[in-house]
Structure 1
Amino acid sequence: MYSSRMTVAPVRKRLSREEARAQTRAALLDAAKTLFARQGFEGTSVEQIAEAAGYTRGAFYSNFEDKETLLIALIGRCFDDDLAQIQRLGGNLADVSAGFQQAANIEQELHREAHLLKMEFWMCALRFPAVREAYEGHQARLREGIGTLIEGQFAALHRPLPAPAEQLAAVTVALRNGLDTQKLINPQAVPSDLYALTLHLLMTGSPPATD
């Protein structure tokens, strides 16, 4: 016997104007993130971004003044994600290094796309003054966050810092980025543990102990 109870479909919550706008912006940023990595900022049109996101050109201009404004917003979101990941991995610089390395190994294609996007950010920061100003502001936040980890590492080792923490942070970021570039071009040239090994040498002045 069939039940006399009727199944009521769940009522879908209607998005507020602010929620709908945030959803549209997020979709446009996601689309631009993929397109900029694959074909570059200057090789991507507003129309391509809107189409990939599933919106119209008008929707794009309702959310961003132009493509450069979108790029600046995307840079900010990516740096926010990096800082959040560092905080999730804890306060130990070695753990942060291991966590980033694990992510790179497990999601190689995503890591490649992320690195291509990062390189696009660099090139646009060199070419466009407004992008450079925004990029350097976020880069300073990243150096500060990593610098705090470095200070904690040296304090735990009871060693004085050989240079200001933010300068050492700049070295660790440059090392990570440079090795990533080489590894993505020629994986055999850069062993997976090279970054962790070099970082350990930088922090302790000696190679890590082996079993």
Structure 2
Amino acid sequence: MTGPARRRPSRAETRRRIIDAATAVFARQGIAATSLNDVAAEAGLTKGAVYSSFTGRDDLVLTIMEEHIVERMAGATTAFADLADLDEATTEAGARLLAGIDSDATWHRLLLEYWGLAMRNPAVHKGLAERRARLREAVTAAIGKVADRHGITLPLAPEHLAVVVLALSNGLAVERGVDPDAVPSSLFSDVLKLLVTPRPADV
């Protein structure tokens, strides 16, 4: 008597499996030294299965990067949505962003490696620039919602402030990775507070 037929993984489940496997291999041996064969072996899949979800290694790397940033920014914007007091919300958002830096140090190392690769390869540079532009758009939209929610006067246009926030995150990750004591746990929150000011009440 045969047992029940094994359920075939969905496309989304296979994609998740590939992303998790690639993240592990990239972290272990770096992006440049990793092939799709390595990723497939880590995931227990064929190379063809990887290509059915991603066009190549660059597509996979960029997808992982985008996913990480979206998740981190979502956690920060949730703080602004959940907490009515602006000071408390800014403190919590900064704490969440810095916690993300600490828990995801490997990802920042990969970002720096891929940035170096992109600077030497026009095709890689183009793909990275396109994905970063999409991320800036998402962060810009989130900043606009936060400003409206809390009645904040932004010191810069939202799209420019998005660049500042992303650059701040990347820069603090580098400095904290080199010397953790140089980046106090409250620093991200403190800088965010300098960037947001409540609008004056109507007279």
Same fold (TM over 0.5): yes
1:173 aligns to what? 166
Corresponding residue number in structure 2 for 1:209: none
Task: Give me the TM-score of the superposition, normalised by structure 2.
Answer: 0.73
Change (3 A) 1:170 1:45: same
Measured in 2, the distance between the counterparts of 1:34 and 1:28 equals 10
1:65 aligns with 2:55: yes
Structure 1 range deviating more: 47-56 or 83-92:
83-92
- The equivalent of 2:134 in structure 1 is 138
- What SS does the aligned partner of 1:63 have? coil
Partner letter of residue 34 of structure 1? A
Give 1:204 shift.
Answer: 4.4
Give the alignment partner of residue 49 of structure 1, picking from 39, 45, 62: 39
- Provide TM-score, normalisation by structure 1: 0.71
Closer, same or farther in 2 for the Cα pair 1:26/1:147, shift >3 Å?
Answer: same
Once residues 25 and 75 of structure 2 are traced to their aligned partners in structure 1, the CA distance between those partners, rounded to angstroms, is 23
**Map of 1:99 onto structure 2:** 96
* Superposition deviation, residue 182 in structure 1: 0.4
CA distance in structure 1 between the aligned counterparts of 2:108 and 2:56, rounded to whole angstroms? 24
Query: What's the counterpart of residue 201 of structure 2?
Result: none
| 1:107-159: CA deviation from partner (whole Å, max 9, x where unpaired) | x4x32123223334534554414422432232222331343156348734xx4
2:21–2:42 Cα contact (<8 Å) kept:
yes
Partner secondary structure for residue 143 of structure 2: helix
Distance 1:122 1:202, change over 3 A: same
How many residues end up aligned between the 2 structures? Answer: 186
Q: Displacement of 1:178 after TM fit?
A: 0.7
Q: Identity, % of aligned pairs?
A: 29
Q: 1:180 Cα shift?
A: 1.6
Q: Report which structure shows greater RCO (CA 8 Å, sep ≥6).
A: 2
8 Å CA contact retained: 1:148, 1:165: yes
In the TM superposition, what is the alpha-carbon distance from 1:71 to its structure 2 partner? 2.4
Report the Cα distance in structure 2 between the residues aligned to 1:183 and 1:177, rounded to whole angstroms.
10
Q: 1:124 to 1:151 in 2, by over 3 A?
A: farther
122-131 or 34-43, which deviates more: 122-131
Q: CA RMSD in A?
A: 3.1
Per the TM alignment, residue 13 of structure 1 is displaced from its structure 2 partner at its CA by 7.2
Moved over 4 A (4+): none
| Cα deviation 1:48-83 (Å, max 9, x = unaligned) | 111111212232233333222322333343344234
Which amino acid is the alignment partner of residue 31 of structure 1? A
Whether 2:12 is the aligned partner of 1:22: answer: yes
Paired residue for 1:188, among 173, 181, 187? 181
Give the CA deviation at 1:175.
1.6
Between the aligned partners of 2:30 and 2:148, the Cα distance in structure 1 is 38
Separation (CA, whole Å) in 1 of partners of 2:45 and 2:149: 48
Query: Helix, strand or coil: the match of 2:151?
Result: helix
Whole-Å Cα distance in 2 between the matches of residues 137 and 59 of structure 1? 29
Kindly indicate whether residue 193 of structure 2 is the aligned counterpart of residue 203 of structure 1.
no
Residue 7 of structure 1 corresponds to: none
